[in-house]
Amino acid sequence: MVDAAALSVIGPDGDAGGHECGLSDDQLLHCYRAMLRTRVFDEICMKLQRSGRVGFSVPNLGIEGMQVGAASALEKTDWVFPSYRDFGMALYHGVTPLRMMHNMFGNGLDSAKGRQMSVHFSFEEPIHFFSISSPIGTHIPQAVGAARAFQARGEDHVCLASFGDGGTSSLGFHSGLNFAGVWKAPVVFLCQNNGWAISCPSSGQTASESFAIKAAAYGMPGVKVDGNDLLAVREVVGEAVGRARAGEGPTLVEAVTFRMGGHSSSDDPTRYVPAEELEAWGERDPIDRFEKYLAQRGLWSEGDEEHVREDALAEIDAAAKEAGAQAPPGLETIFSDVYETLPDHLRAQGEAVFDLSRRKGEAAAGGGEFPL
């Protein structure tokens, strides 16, 4: 469970004690819809994977409050360097489920042109959502590099690098935080302490008393927050973003939460997560908690969740059907987006491939099982 050192704002009964979150009623309802859309998108993606229509997905169940709370503290001009468990950050900032579904299917309208696995989103707008990477922690120094570039250009953008507790054991975590501390780079490090990194519990991941305390070694503040409390996450990340934008350097935020599903669609968490632990965290559901908060403000009543969920189901189901009906990326995309002027040897190879395709037809995907 979340310890007393983790900042909380919303109590179990929804009472926030008069906390001023800086969000209007409409913005609070947008946060609520973003969380529910994230949950529905997650559910549909898992069904698509289980039915063999997409190859891979990553459950987001239980961490929607952390994602949306952090996203709400960013400006559209900021950059997100996400983990693969951050559906809500994209949805909050206006990326449509259809654009995300194009990536799930890897079709011809996918922004990555089918070159990435499912859930490895990348968007240039409405917010800069950097390409998700499967290798753990590699995006952390990339976020620092981008933040350093903002400094060099005199721009006031901020990078948010999001990663799981397992990511703190990567080389990228240590080198990224070290350089960020030295340069006072405008980056916020958001550690999603999900409780488990695949089958390794947080207690087996580090001998430190927390992940937030690691910040001291790199010369930056470390803050621990209740990751299932949307408003608490918004407050902590907002303060960190403000510090970064003011030239005061980076912050490490540890958001204590719990993934209620597997690490990925290839994982069976029932083999290692104690049932009583899962049950205890189920009672801390971030959506239920936020509903109680909205109800106290007169913004939510019984039946509202059903209406929002029905709207999300209709939208995301339609997006899945439309994306699934699209043609795969064209053969020519193999050679695009690399060179401004294609070298002669690649041009010759491309012409040979196109000729073979005209004569023999395009290659089929094969009948083997998806390796993940």
How many other C-beta atoms lie within 10 A of the C-beta of residue 102?
Answer: 24
Active-site annotation holder among 272, 297, 339, 347: 272
Cβ atoms of 238 and 244 within 8 Å: the answer is no
Q: How many angstroms separate the CA atoms of 76 and 94, rounded?
A: 10
Q: What is the DSSP string of 173-198?
A: HHHHHHHHHHHT-SEEEEEEE-SEET
Q: Is 263 a catalytic residue?
A: yes
Q: How many angstroms separate the CA atoms of 183 and 83, rounded?
A: 23
Q: What is the DSSP string of 128-165?
A: EEPPP-SSTTTHHHHHHHHHHHHHHHT----EEEEEEG
- Tokens 């916020």 belong to 188
Torsion angle in degrees (nearest 10) through CA of 129, 135, 139, 140: 140
Active-site annotation holder among 37, 39, 93, 259: 259
Cβ atoms of 57 and 104 within 8 Å: the answer is yes
Q: Is 272 a catalytic residue?
A: yes
Q: Please name the helix (run of DSSP H) or strand (run of DSSP E) that holds residue 360, with its range, or none.
A: helix 344-360
Active-site annotation holder among 37, 120, 157, 263: 263
Half-sphere exposure of 224 (CA within 13 A, CB side): 14
The token duo for 246 is 């003011």
Question: What 3-state DSSP class applies to 256?
Answer: strand
Question: What 3-state DSSP class applies to 49?
Answer: helix
Catalytic center residues: 259, 263, 272
